[in-house]
Amino acid sequence: MRPNHRCLLRVCASALYVIVGLAYAQSPNIASQGTVNSADYSRSFAPGALISVFGANFASSSQQPGAFPLPTSLGGVSVQLAGNGEFLPLWYVSPAQINAQLPYDAPVGQVQVRVVTAGGSSNLDTITVAARAPRIFTFDFSGRGPGVVTSADYKVLSSANPAGPGQVIVLWMNSMGAATGNPVAGQPAPGASPGSQPSILTEPATATVDGIAATVTFAGLCPGSAGLYQVNVQ
């Protein structure tokens, strides 16, 4: 009897589908100390901070949300606080990295984070949350390279485009903690629309430039964004 090639093709296709499905259904795994501050990849965190989680078997492809509010599930991937079961708003997911935002009411102290997918729940990663842990975003995420600093009209400052005396510069920052206006993680910060008041830090911020005290003209959440802080310094 001659084999039925159509049947063989269907069987092979079904087997391939099962194999691929099993590959994508592997349990997610967070790397050792794989949850870090998105600004400089340190292990310093505060309520409302943007965090990056590194590991394996997260998503089958890279995805980003198209609009606010940020979703708590993206491509079948979620990040959860193990203590209270809360799912975090997501900025980005990929097979090996997730960017998310801690809630503004995250408890100070030790907090456990896990990744949840169709393949199951990951191992727990314990992080320590402080009331404030200000970090300037750096271009190489080392915390030591050039910081992400712009002019007031959002032009990146560099040796080729330096700031001048008396100029207001903007430091783009993360994890600066509590701010006014009851901000909600995953929601755009107020201040972008007419009549809306920006959300400012509940405690005053100070700054120095080369060791000299400078005037802070604004310190709070970047209007219209989620989790991003800005500090305007003259």
| More confident site: 25 or 93 | 93
**Confidence class for position 57, pLDDT limits 50, 70, 90:** very high
Handedness of CA 224, 229, 230, 231 (dihedral sign): positive
pLDDT in tens, 112-149: 999 999 999 999 999 999 999 999 999 988 778 899 99
Question: What is the C-alpha to C-alpha distance for residues 75 and 57, in angstroms, rounded to an integer?
Answer: 12
- Which of 22-36, 69-83, 204-218 shows the lowest mean pLDDT across its residues? 22-36
Model confidence, pTM: 0.87
What local confidence, expressed as pLDDT, does residue 145 receive?
84
- Asked if the model's pLDDT at residue 76 lies above 90, the reply is yes
Residue 66 tokens, joined: 């198209």
Strand partners of residue 201: 179
Q: Are 191 and 224 in contact (CB under 8 A)?
A: yes
Q: Kindly state the average pLDDT of the residues 196-223.
A: 96
Q: What is the DSSP letter of 105?
A: T
| More confident site: 208 or 18 | 208
What local confidence, expressed as pLDDT, does residue 25 receive?
65
What are the C-alpha distances in Å from 145 to residues 50, 142, 156, 157, 187?
A: 19, 6, 14, 13, 30
Percent of the chain having pLDDT more than 70? 89
- Asked if the model's pLDDT at residue 10 lies above 50, the reply is no
- What DSSP element (H or E) covers 90? strand 90-93
What local confidence, expressed as pLDDT, does residue 64 receive?
97
Looking up tokens 């959300």 gives: 199
Q: Kindly state the average pLDDT of the residues 6-32.
A: 57
Ramachandran category for residue 85: left, alpha or beta (phi over 0 → left; psi -120 to 50 → alpha): left
What are the C-alpha distances in Å from 211 to residues 146, 174, 215, 231?
A: 17, 22, 13, 17
Q: Are 59 and 117 in contact (CB under 8 A)?
A: yes
Q: Kindly state the average pLDDT of the residues 84-92.
A: 97
Residue 210 tokens, joined: 């080369």
